Amino acid sequence: MYECPLGSGAEGTVYRVGDGTVAKVWSVPRDIEPLRRVYAELDLPFATPRIHEVTEHEGSMVTYERELPGVPLGPDSAVYPMPERLDPSSVDAAVHVLRGLATAPGTEALRRLTVVGDDRPLWQDQETFAGALAALVDRRSALLREHVPRLPEILRWVHRGLATMPVRPATLIHGDLVPPNIHVDEAGIPCAVLDFGFCTTAGDPAFDAAITAAGWDMYGPHAAAHRAELTRHFATELGYPVQDLVLYQAIYALSTYDAFGVDGHFHWCVNLLN
């Protein structure tokens, strides 16, 4: 169909078409209209995707979208392990983007999105983000019982934590903020954010900070140390309690463990919970 892909991820492969347009060939089926409405509403201090057209090619969905400026902040840590010392400018860029995302309100369109692996919108029949997460964990965590011996204890801890967590205004949550999904300009300033959809929703902005800290480096030799360092850094810079971020990281593991089958992500989630 096209040559020279610009990038490839869990959801599909992106190709440059020309005239400021890219084509994303989706490897997994999904209802794209809710995400298309979210993109149309976004008004952030950096560029975000816009879907111009949705078609089909050889059984795969193809979306034609505007090409975003800049270059990726960094490569996928699953392919190119991060060095032991985190790049301070990259960490600053993550904080900058997290602050920007938290300025966008948690709209009705965002509340209608389904997070990866689930069968319904996260906010369906729920009035609070904490309630939505509690219901998500209850319906998604059962298959972990044979892999996480302390699962009942962890679930009790999660429900207690959600019940006592302070309520913050619901804002835009990207849900997959990793170096390849942030584009920077020649000065290293974030100028675009892409690949919304994996866990995009409306909710507590601390959730986005938590899973950014957890997902920034998931598979490298220094991943655990990087997660702990970024969790503390984001807590300090953004004003969130460390214990809230740790709780949200556990919820992320409880609800996304089988997003891609029994693979590296599955083992990462199990290891975090154990």
| Per-residue pLDDT band at 30 (split at 50, 70, 90) | confident
The mean pLDDT value of the chain amounts to 93
Q: Is the pLDDT assigned to residue 139 strictly greater than 80?
A: yes
Instruction: Give the strand order in the sheet containing 21-26.
Output: 5-8, 12-18, 21-26, 60-66, 51-57
- When pLDDT is cut at 50, 70 and 90, the band that residue 3 belongs to is low
| Average pLDDT rounded to a whole number, residues 198-202 | 94
Q: Which range has the worst mean pLDDT, 3-7, 15-19, 118-122, 192-196?
A: 3-7
pLDDT tens-digit map of 210-223: 999 999 999 999 99
Dihedral, 113, 115, 117, 120 alpha carbons, nearest 10: -40
pLDDT tens-digit map of 225-241: 999 999 999 999 999 99
Confidence band of 2 (pLDDT split at 50, 70, 90): low
Of 90, 88, 85, 84, the closest CA to residue 72 belongs to: 90
Q: What percent of the chain has pLDDT over 90?
A: 82
pLDDT at position 186 over 70 = yes
